[in-house]
Amino acid sequence: MSQRQHYAETEVDAPHDPLLTVARLAALHRDDSHVVHEQGATWHFCAGALAEITVDRRQVHYTCGTDRRSIPWTRRPLDVVADLLEALPVRRWRAYGWAGFELAEAQAGRPPAAGAAPLLHLVVPREEVRITAGRALLRTTGPDGPDRLAALLAGPAPERVSGQRGIAGLDLGVGADQYLKSVAAAVDEIGAGAFEKVVLSRVVPVPAAIDLVATFVHGRRHNTPARSFLLNLGGLRAAGFSPELVVSVTAAGLVRTQPLAGTRALTASAAENHRLREELLADAKEIHEHQISVTAAYEELGTVCEPGTVTVEEHMAVRERGTVQHLASRLSGLLAPGLRNWDAFAALFPAITVSGIPKSAALAAVRAYEPVPREMYGGAVLAVDHDGELDAALVLRAVYQQAGQVWLRAGAGIVRQSTPERELEETCEKLRSIATYLIPAPTP
């Protein structure tokens, strides 16, 4: 791309439900690359690619117009990614995408095991819609883009999702026996001093095709996520309701993270939920798991923040997330001079709450106990801005679809006091946050 690109921008009314509006845009781009990202009070939709960056197990691949490069990485592929983004010939760019769990291995200088999925996939879109409080900012590089997007937003109200609920034959107990054995073995290793905490997960296949857009809308109606997302990038489709932030960085350099650890179910009964909440707040195992996660996050922030600026803003509150309630804390600090948003991301990725303590030993345990790579599960959905802002939300409570396969995945934090039966139950509680709301694909 020889000339510097810029977006034409228009602001218009967005009178309809933003969830249904972005879902309609995603449905119209069902077979094209697109991302929906709910971030606080703003809904983002983007499609197409002015620029694209992927990281695999050997190289960082970059495409921007006619500029196509593959750059070998040696120790820290995110340094290459950051440099490429800073040099983009696109004014006021914003990138969207995801980072896979195994990216942490690459950042540590250990090439991950062979696999087809990328470790990171980012796009700078050709067109973008940002909806906040009934107004929409339209950004596009196409000559007729603003008018076309404005017409879509001004049209009739999008239809609400209806149709059959539930997937016949979905068994949330798949792999339970092996999971129980793995948890018991991990508890023994913790007792022997191998590590203090590890998060082990299991995969649940979905035995039918699903309507991903309808599932996203239906699931979002019944979840209370920190972030939600719907994407189709590089053949991988996913929808999810992220319970927590891995890390956010503001343009001014304020770094935040929000570890969630400690879980009980969330039911239809207010009285039962209160009982479970009190049980959670008094459970020594859950409190220990949460506290060591907060301590580890504090230490990780300390590696990239100015001395004396790291604080615990909120400690051990209870957050409701779909079919579960969690113990939650929030920490922050000021990014140290000379460091970039990607340095903060690298310090906190993957989240302590999906890896373990110490992180290097926990990552080795995950490799040993889990038969297939996590890829997007346990990674992050990303939004990165030209001004230094970065938002990375944890990929959990999600459904994944690729090459004709559909699956769910959930895990639980294992510490010395863990019992295999309770950890298995916890994975089921988490799976219901998405499994309950799957909508089958329409019959041809």
Residues marked active site are found at 244
Residue 322 φ/ψ, nearest 5 degrees: 70, -110
Contact 309, 320 (CB under 8 A): no
Looking up tokens 């059959």 gives 164
CA distances from 212 to 26, 89, 118 (A): 10, 34, 21
For residue 405, give the nearest of 229, 233, 204 by alpha carbon. Answer: 204
395-431 per-residue burial string, b: 16 or more CB within 10 A, e: under 16 = bbbbbbbbeeebbbbbbbbbbeebebeebbebbbbbb
- The answer to whether residues 123 and 62 touch, using CB atoms and an 8 Å cutoff, is no
Q: Which amino acid appears at position 140 of this protein?
A: T
428: which 2 tokens?
């089921």
How far apart (Å, rounded) are the C-alpha atoms in residues 413 and 427? 10
How close are the terminal C-alpha atoms of the chain, in Å? 42
Torsion angle in degrees (nearest 10) through CA of 368, 115, 423, 293: 80
Q: Is 354 helix (H, G, I), strand (E, B) or coil?
A: helix
Contacts of 156 (CB under 8 A, 6+ apart): none
For residue 182, what is the enclosing H or E element?
helix 176-191
Q: For residue 206, how far is the Cα from the chain centroid?
A: 20
Instruction: Copy the structure tokens of residue 161.
Output: 């999702």
